[in-house]
Amino acid sequence: MTTMLSHERYCSEILDQTGLLCSALGEGTDVSVTVPTCPDWTLGHLLMHVGQAHRMATGLVRDRVMEFVPPSTAGQVIPTPGPGDPSADDLPGLTAWLAEGAEALVAVLREAGTDSPVWTFSEDQRSAFWARRAAHETLMHRADALGAVGVPFTADAELAADCVDEWLEILTFPAAVAFKPRLKELPGPGRTLHLHATDTPAELNAEWLIDLTGDGVAWRRAHEKAAVAVRGPMTDVLSVLFRRLPADTDRIEVLGDRELLDFWLERAVF
């Protein structure tokens, strides 16, 4: 595990990423368009999902919930309005509701601090988990929303690198493997991947070695040779890892076993 950003940084990013998402959706934006990176959803569905995720985290942290069973359809169903939620075709209502939900979540997280006990799907049963998770969830769904309206996505390098860290950590969680059994297919002889952000300062150390040669997913920040390497700007490496950008884009360079990269991308997904 690497050093996380500060709790306050995550809180600020939840607000900032939500604000950036909303500000990219100008008057007249068609919320019925399909989101290319979430093809089962319209843009309105995507915005509802983000707002509902914020509210779920708010309730967990505020009420210090220690036992929670996610619905069996989590991540699969099209979001539908709950009590007090706007409809998926109401852009002004959705953006105001999103901002309200982000502010409520951040208020609860700031009051809770980092160490309030709460259920999470990791071994870290603290409120700090939800601050980090919500910041990165909002960041990547901002990428989805921008893709739907044809606006380029960029991410702060430090936040993007931390998002890569968290994603690789999640892939090691027993709960993740139980939820997505295809993760069990990842390990195998000679399966190693290297990610290298080429536009970041040296002190950020934005390089990762993903080692699948053992019983599961192992990883570390490191400059090491691997069976396949992905090199490019930090935002683009992040976007390829999260399948927000196709691996055959000319914005990154793939060196080595391209089939292994495709194998990874098909399975390391939720």
Q: In the predicted model, what is the mean pLDDT of residues 176-184?
A: 92
Tell me what pLDDT residue 82 has.
87
Tell me what pLDDT residue 1 has.
45
Break the chain down into helix, strand, coil percent, rounded to 5.
45, 10, 40
Tell me what pLDDT residue 68 has.
82
Say which residue, 26 or 115, is predicted with more confidence: 115
Average confidence score pLDDT of the chain: 94
Domain spans, the chain: 7-153, 178-267
What is the third-level CATH fold of 178-267? Nonspecific Lipid-transfer Protein; Chain A (3.30.1050)
Cα separation values, 200 from 40, 97, 206, 240, Å? 34, 35, 7, 17
**3-class state of residue 204 by DSSP:** helix
pLDDT digits (tens, 9 = 90+) for 93-148: 999 999 999 999 999 999 999 999 999 999 999 999 999 999 999 999 999 999 99
pLDDT digits (tens, 9 = 90+) for 195-227: 999 999 999 999 999 999 999 999 999 999 999
- What is d(CA 6, CA 131) in angstroms, rounded to the nearest whole number? 10
pLDDT greater than 90 at residue 234: yes
Q: In the predicted model, what is the mean pLDDT of residues 255-267?
A: 98
pLDDT digits (tens, 9 = 90+) for 163-175: 999 999 999 999 9
| pTM, to two decimals | 0.95
Q: In the predicted model, what is the mean pLDDT of residues 24-45?
A: 94
Tell me what pLDDT residue 148 has.
97
Tell me what pLDDT residue 75 has.
54
To 5 degrees, how large is the angle CA 170–CA 175–CA 178?
Answer: 115
Q: In the predicted model, what is the mean pLDDT of residues 28-33?
A: 95
User: Domain 7-153 - what CATH class?
Assistant: mainly alpha
Tell me what pLDDT residue 229 has.
98
